[in-house]
Amino acid sequence: MKKSFLSLILIFFVASLSADEGMWMLHLLKQQKYPEMKKMGLKLKDYDIYNPNGASIKDAVVQFGGGCTGEVISSQGLVLTNHHCGYGQIQNHSTLENNYLDNGFWAMTKAEELPNPGLTVTFIDKIEDVTVYVKECLQRDKEQDKDGIFFLSPTYLKSIAIARVGAEFLKNNAGTDVEIKPFFDGNQYFMFTKKIYSDVRLVGAPPSSIGKFGADTDNWEWPRHTGDFTLFRIYSDKNGNPAAYSPDNVPLKPKRWLTISTKGVAENDFVMMIGFPGTTHKYYTSWEVAERRDIDNAVRINMRRVRQEAMLNEMLADPQVKIQYASKYSGSTNAYKNAIGTNWAIDLRNFEQVKLEQQNCVLDWALKNNKPQYTQALDKICEIVENRADLRYRNWMLNEGIIRGVEFAGVPVGAANMLITALESNDEDKIEKSTAQLLADYNRFANKDYNREVDKKVGKTMLKEYTKLMSREKQPKYFEVIYSQFNGDVDKFVDYIFEKSIFGSEENLQRFVSGNKNAEVLRTDPMFQFARSVTDEMLSLRTRLSAFDNPFAVARSTYLDGILVMDGANAHFPDANLTMRLTYGQLKGYKPRDAVHYSHQTTLDGVMEKEDPNNWEFVVSDKLKTLYDTKNFGRYALSDGRMPVCFTATTHTTGGNSGSPVMNGKGELIGINFDRNWEGVGGDIQYLPDYQRSIIVDIRYVLFVIDKFAGATHLIDEMEIK
């Protein structure tokens, strides 16, 4: 009797993986999910998707920058990604006179394509299971690993990755890199051989009124009407190898590019996506769920709301500020809304209970099979979560409230410290060098997107909120001045700092460096002291928190081992960790609330419905209106004559999947993933079959904008469109 009850629970745990759930490793697809994908409508062979011995679809998918995905769509290295993934680059090239954010950008010839120093795209050439190798290395290096941290250490894993291929190999293959990553918290290890291209040029971007239509109001929302795409091109040296930017570089001839289908797909049709999802927490325990909701997300939601309101006021009052703070503002709201959606799902779907049931399965099984290590591991996780709560709260408050919220907390403390030491040593050479360093670091801080008045105002707001919520003895030491010298008046304190500090303005800094520099003046500088005190507090919190890290990591690794041993390794997918994954599902709408149904496809009609010339988020350009009025949709319209814009699918995605190619059963490109609905973001912790939807821009809208809106037909001619 007991036995069958237990096996019922076990079945529940494995079966609780819903059909569309999962971010699967490509090299394991064949034994894990390929048969099910075939049943659902995949028309390809497994080696068409991933082929260790030849070109396959995976070779057309790239990691774009550090945190997005892109896909190669022509034989000349043309890459599609999201507008929000290329946003920083578009912003960088924008000025008030040539505002590409507002007006869009289209290179009509290759010579007009714009280089982007620092931007890379990464191809994954090879994926190998190196679990045995890593475990052997760990065993060999046990003596050096005093704290037992090597098993998750990127530095250690990097060193053994290089040792495995040999430094010579990397030297002889420009742009090639190797990385070993831990999976299931260090129970499996895979090695990725990558090719990284660093000459990536901007080719085309729609105006923000298309690429960011709906902006923050619509972010994480469905129905959606955003043409969230940008085009780049990869350049290589004449031999096709990665090379730093050079006018002599040529468009890359890729191994593989995606063909594009304008035929569309219908509700319930099979779709799949390959990309680089960043972070998920599928294997959270119930205690970590509560910690995430009550500390991490609660602090983030409150502090960002306060910062964003303050920032937006300034942005709306001044077009220059609007450009300067565009990236900072969107970066902030993105994680803010995600945190709101996550907490909503945690409560609505009682994730604490769901994870508790998962833990209990492991506990029951461990008890039955006499494996006390798993019980001990869970006890340890529970104990650590409880013990780190206060420090964790302080850390989140400091990060969200001050480090992120108050820009002047980031003045160059390191360089200032160097200059103080140099001045004290009276070493002219050192003084000269440190002064130059200080100026360079200050210019990086006060760059073209920094506005002193905005920093002052937002900083005041954030400091008020932080000091209201954090007890006085737990604030950074220098904050005591606010009480002792300014009677708790934050406004006066900040005004004073800006007036008196060397870093309060360009003029103040110039006066200091060109005058008789004095170590004492720098050491007692109020903004320097403020920033240093924040850094000290950050380091102190980090050090104290890090004492929990290793025992926590070991306990989690043991717990995950329990899950894998109990269910078998093939039953589960590892949490996202910025490695290449495949997810599949169906095109589907959803029911957000009782009696409300959202269909899976939006059209240009919805753009016109949302149009509001008085709200910057919903402005529609005259050109788009004319195309709409004249139904000038070319070959991209739906069969009923309407222009498709976005659609939703049940695929399991997260941050990092932005820009991922969405393909039909034949592997043809039908859309670009760019977001999720906020009701689905809790899927980072527990997939929600009825709520979780990826939001995808329909490739036909992308082509229509390139072709009819921008007139960049030379780009259309480059693609293989069916």
Q: Which alpha helices (DSSP H) does 111-254 contain, by range? A: 131-140, 154-165, 167-172, 208-211, 215-218
Establish if 660 lies at the interface with ligand ASP (CB under 6 A): no
Among all residues, which ones are annotated catalytic? 84, 228, 658
| Distance (Å, whole) CA 695 – CA 163 | 42
| Distance (Å, whole) CA 591 – CA 594 | 7
Question: By CB under 6 A, what part of segment 310-369 binds ligand ASP?
Answer: none
SS3 630: coil
Shortest Å, Cβ 124 to ligand ASP: 18
SS3 265: coil
Residues in binding contact with ligand ASP, number by CB under 6 A: 8
Degrees, nearest 5: CA angle 669-670-672: 85
Strands (E), 551-606: 581-586, 601-603
Shortest Å, Cβ 82 to ligand ASP: 7
Comparison of 451 and 657: residue with beta carbon closer to ligand ASP: 657
Enter the DSSP assignment of 194: E
Q: Which stretch binds ligand ASP (CB under 6 A): 130-138, 248-256, 304-312, 655-663?
A: 655-663
Establish if 651 lies at the interface with ligand ASP (CB under 6 A): no
Q: Which stretch binds ligand ASP (CB under 6 A): 204-212, 238-246, 443-451, 652-660?
A: 652-660
Shortest Å, Cβ 342 to ligand ASP: 11
Comparison of 216 and 675: residue with beta carbon closer to ligand ASP: 675
Q: Which stretch binds ligand ASP (CB under 6 A): 91-99, 130-138, 340-348, 648-656?
A: 648-656
Query: Cβ(459)–Cβ(494) under 8 Å?
Result: yes
| Distance (Å, whole) CA 452 – CA 355 | 47
Comparison of 675 and 718: residue with beta carbon closer to ligand ASP: 675
Per the listing, tokens 């220059």 go with: 320
Q: Give the sign of the dihedral formed by CA 22, CA 26, CA 31, CA 34.
A: positive
How many other C-beta atoms can be found within 10 angstroms of the C-beta atom of residue 165?
16
* Structure token digits, residue 682: 């809790």
State which H helix or E strand residue 190 sits in: strand 188-197
Establish if 655 lies at the interface with ligand ASP (CB under 6 A): yes
Shortest Å, Cβ 517 to ligand ASP: 45
Strands (E), 598-658: 601-603, 644-649
Q: How many residues appear in the chain?
A: 722
- Contact pick of 242, 401, 526, 656 for ligand ASP (by CB under 6 A): 656
Establish if 288 lies at the interface with ligand ASP (CB under 6 A): no
Establish if 654 lies at the interface with ligand ASP (CB under 6 A): yes
Q: Which stretch binds ligand ASP (CB under 6 A): 242-250, 265-273, 596-604, 656-664?
A: 656-664
State which H helix or E strand residue 176 sits in: strand 176-183
Comparison of 276 and 528: residue with beta carbon closer to ligand ASP: 276
Comparison of 281 and 676: residue with beta carbon closer to ligand ASP: 676
- Contact pick of 675, 698, 707, 718 for ligand ASP (by CB under 6 A): 675
Shortest Å, Cβ 372 to ligand ASP: 39
Torsion angle, CA of 140/146/152/154, rounded to 10 degrees? -90
SS3 185: coil
Comparison of 575 and 675: residue with beta carbon closer to ligand ASP: 675
Per the listing, tokens 């062979």 go with: 45
Degrees, nearest 5: CA angle 448-451-456: 155
Query: Cβ(670)–Cβ(264) under 8 Å?
Result: yes
Comparison of 62 and 715: residue with beta carbon closer to ligand ASP: 62
Establish if 658 lies at the interface with ligand ASP (CB under 6 A): yes
Comparison of 95 and 279: residue with beta carbon closer to ligand ASP: 279
| Distance (Å, whole) CA 133 – CA 188 | 10
Establish if 116 lies at the interface with ligand ASP (CB under 6 A): no
Shortest Å, Cβ 277 to ligand ASP: 8
CB neighbour burial string for 574-586, b if at least 16 within 10 angstroms, e if fewer: bbbbbbbbbbbbb
* Structure token digits, residue 404: 């992120």
Shortest Å, Cβ 489 to ligand ASP: 40
| Distance (Å, whole) CA 656 – CA 679 | 18
Residues in contact with 38: Cβ distance below 8 Å, sequence separation at least 6, in sequence order: none
- Beta partners for 72? 79
- Contact pick of 282, 300, 676, 693 for ligand ASP (by CB under 6 A): 676
- Contact pick of 91, 657, 686, 692 for ligand ASP (by CB under 6 A): 657
- φ and ψ of 142, to 5 deg: -55, -40
DSSP string of 369-422, one letter each residue: TT-HHHHHHHHHHHHHHHHTHHHHHHHHHIIIIIITT-GGGGS-HHHHHHHHHH
Comparison of 601 and 653: residue with beta carbon closer to ligand ASP: 653
Shortest Å, Cβ 600 to ligand ASP: 16
Comparison of 62 and 482: residue with beta carbon closer to ligand ASP: 62
599-638 footprint of ligand ASP as x/- string (CB under 6 A): ----------------------------------------
Comparison of 220 and 365: residue with beta carbon closer to ligand ASP: 220
Q: Which residue is nearest to ligand ASP (CB)?
A: 658
Shortest Å, Cβ 559 to ligand ASP: 26
Shortest Å, Cβ 653 to ligand ASP: 5
SS3 456: helix
Q: Which stretch binds ligand ASP (CB under 6 A): 52-60, 431-439, 544-552, 654-662?
A: 654-662
Q: Which stretch binds ligand ASP (CB under 6 A): 364-372, 525-533, 584-592, 647-655?
A: 647-655
- Contact pick of 99, 188, 208, 653 for ligand ASP (by CB under 6 A): 653
Q: Which amino acid is at 244?
A: A
Comparison of 104 and 683: residue with beta carbon closer to ligand ASP: 683
| Distance (Å, whole) CA 650 – CA 20 | 6
Shortest Å, Cβ 85 to ligand ASP: 7
Shortest Å, Cβ 270 to ligand ASP: 20
Query: Cβ(559)–Cβ(378) under 8 Å?
Result: yes
Q: Which stretch binds ligand ASP (CB under 6 A): 57-65, 256-264, 494-502, 650-658?
A: 650-658
Enumerate binding residues for ligand ASP (CB under 6 A): 653-658, 675-676
